[in-house]
Amino acid sequence: MRPDQPHAISPCFADNEYSWKPVRVVGYDYQTNKYKVEVCNTRQIKYVTRLSLLFYAEDPGQFRERVNLCKTRLKNCSAENAFTKEVDKVKHEAVSTLSKERRESFMRKCIQESDRFE
């Protein structure tokens, strides 16, 4: 509605620290999936993700929850990737073969977990 006024805040680095500054969203880059913003007091143009952009019309509590949820998911993915990387280091010859009953038990467990997540 007011393109000449700031309508969001975003973290900006100045004086060896980050602080939230007023910005105007001036575009969107579909290749990088980032918002093009102009920092109001410096006229600097930068590209930010949605997690680095808090609109004035947005509920700050919900924004904080969304950011924390993303951090938690990132931590979980990193842990899972680290685990998978370690498992992949084990040579096939060093792994014993599971019995048919044990494999079926694992499959049932996986299906139950999958159903629970859905």
CB atoms within 10 A of CB 10: 20
Of 34, 36, 33, 12, nearest in space to 24 by CA: 36
Instruction: Express each pLDDT in 3-27 by its tens digit.
Output: 678 989 999 988 889 999 999 999 9
Cα–Cα dist 10/58, whole Å: 13
Cα–Cα dist 60/8, whole Å: 11
pLDDT level of residue 109 (50, 70, 90 thresholds): confident
DSSP 117: H
Instruction: Express each pLDDT in 37-87 by its tens digit.
Output: 999 988 999 999 998 999 999 999 999 999 999 999 999 999 999 999 998
By the 10 Å C-beta count (0-12 exposed, 13-18 middle, 19+ buried), 61 is classed as exposed
Q: What are phi and psi of 56, to 5 degrees?
A: -60, -30
Instruction: Express each pLDDT in 83-105 by its tens digit.
Output: 999 989 988 888 888 889 998 99
Cα–Cα dist 24/27, whole Å: 9
